[in-house]
Amino acid sequence: MRCGVVRLSIPVSLLAACVGACASPAPPAESSIGLVGRVTREGHYDRPHATRTLPIAIRFAQRGSCVRCELIEMPRTGKVTTVLVRDAQGREWTKTGDASEFRPSPPEDARFLAVASAALSDGEHDAVLAFRHPRLGDVSDSATWSGAEDERELRIVWQRPTDSAEFVVHRPKEPGAGTDVSFEVPPTERTEATAADTGATAAVFRTIADGVHEITLPAADTRSLAIEFADHVVLCEASLDNEAGTRLLAAIDEHLPGKPVRYVAFGHYHPHYTGGLRPVMARGATVVSPPLGAAFAREIASRPFLSPPDELAASGRAPAIETFVGERTFRDGTNELVLVDIGEDSHHTVEYVVFWLPRQRILFQGDLGWYGVGAGIRAGGERARGMLAAIDARKLPVETLVQGWPATGRSSLPLVELRALLAK
Ligand SMILES: [Zn+2]
């Protein structure tokens, strides 16, 4: 049965009422459906708007007011990669990967469950959920049906904090998506929210060398550097979203008073490095980037943060963006910083800026160097190799590498140690 578009609004826990209002007669006590198709993801590839498409299966079941949705990212293995549940109390729970416990769903998972359950409960419905995304602005997640009666397709648009995904799925021609799922969340298998879940962790400001200050945002899982000059700061890496960008500025205001952020640069376009640009642009800082990144910064400035307006929209300011090719140097009597685009040597993105501090012999880079913690640390493979090749080709006398992501584990490593790890 079909009945128009279900327009959903937060709080998600009220969704059962929205669906009930649309569906007539009342939703059945039990239903289940299996869907197969593909998912196209965006956000972490070699250039802005590059995507990758992979097969996916979705299983959905409803029993009374409870729903359960399973994502199977490698359908051939049949392994369930994500389980989303709404329990009888209207609370949403998530279990991902090999985790044994359900945790309270983050807002993005609750949104997915909202549009999926509105689209799949008691027949076919279209569902739209408008919301304020902390990085993308005023956007919508949605689930919409299309196609002839025997070839119906469901398209789900899902915008998560760190990437976007579009699912296009349909009922399998032959049964096999295994719709028989149970969805209770046994109390012994769930853990309540922690401070980290709610993002309630403060910025950590630490001076790591003369004129070089590290700002770590644990909730965003990012590390930025504030490079201090005589009368201003250059911010390197802008973190994940508007809130993170605002936290970076607050930390700089507190610890480096009287030194405005005059320039901001990011290593590559991925969300953890560019998502917080808008509040920095709102302060009048100039974004400095190679050409593709400069175009992406312009796009970020035009994102729809209108209801209510964020700082940049309210300022009415046109973004200040400066483009460079190769290298860009900042220098005064107190400090020096060189932005170096190592490009495809990064084996990660087509433009990739590293931050060279010749006076401190520190090179700061986003996510090329190493992974892991303690003795389990390992070099980042071809990315790390490519970065070292770029350093060697330019004869940069680097002593210490500092890394932006992940924010946990070692934040810095002597260059010789990375070379040794790569030689193993
Ligand atoms: Zn990246």
Angle between helices 15-22 and 107-120 (to 10 degrees): 20
Q: What is the pLDDT of residue 402?
A: 98
Q: What is the pLDDT of residue 100?
A: 86
Residue 264 has which token pair?
């901001």
Gap from CA of 272 to ligand 1 centroid (Å): 8
Q: What is the pLDDT of residue 12?
A: 44
Q: What is the pLDDT of residue 149?
A: 85
Q: What is the pLDDT of residue 5?
A: 66
Three-class SS of residue 328?
strand
Whether the CB-CB separation of 158 and 136 falls below 8 Å is answered with no
Secondary structure letter of residue 288 according to DSSP: E
R_g over Cα of the chain? 24
Gap from CA of 122 to ligand 1 centroid (Å): 41
Gap from CA of 285 to ligand 1 centroid (Å): 23
Query: Per CATH, the architecture of 204-423 is what?
Result: 4-Layer Sandwich (3.60)
Angle at 396 between CA 261 and CA 417, to 5 degrees: 100
Domain boundaries, the chain: 2-174, 204-423
Distance CA 275, CA 136 (A): 8
Q: What is the pLDDT of residue 175?
A: 64
Residue 76 has which token pair?
């051939």
Q: How far is CA 419 from CA 93, 227, 341, 355, 404, in A?
A: 43, 26, 21, 19, 19
Question: pLDDT under 70 in the chain at which residues?
Answer: 1-6, 9-29, 175-188, 194-200
Q: What is the pLDDT of residue 180?
A: 63
Gap from CA of 200 to ligand 1 centroid (Å): 24
Distance CA 166, CA 378 (A): 33
Q: What is the pLDDT of residue 276?
A: 98
Q: Which amino acid is at 139?
A: V
Gap from CA of 338 to ligand 1 centroid (Å): 20
Gap from CA of 226 to ligand 1 centroid (Å): 20
Gap from CA of 331 to ligand 1 centroid (Å): 28
Secondary structure letter of residue 183 according to DSSP: -
Gap from CA of 168 to ligand 1 centroid (Å): 26
Nearest alpha carbon to residue 167 among 58, 61, 272? 58
Q: What is the pTM of this model?
A: 0.90
Gap from CA of 153 to ligand 1 centroid (Å): 32
Gap from CA of 44 to ligand 1 centroid (Å): 6
Q: What is the pLDDT of residue 32?
A: 85
Q: What is the pLDDT of residue 243?
A: 96
Gap from CA of 255 to ligand 1 centroid (Å): 28
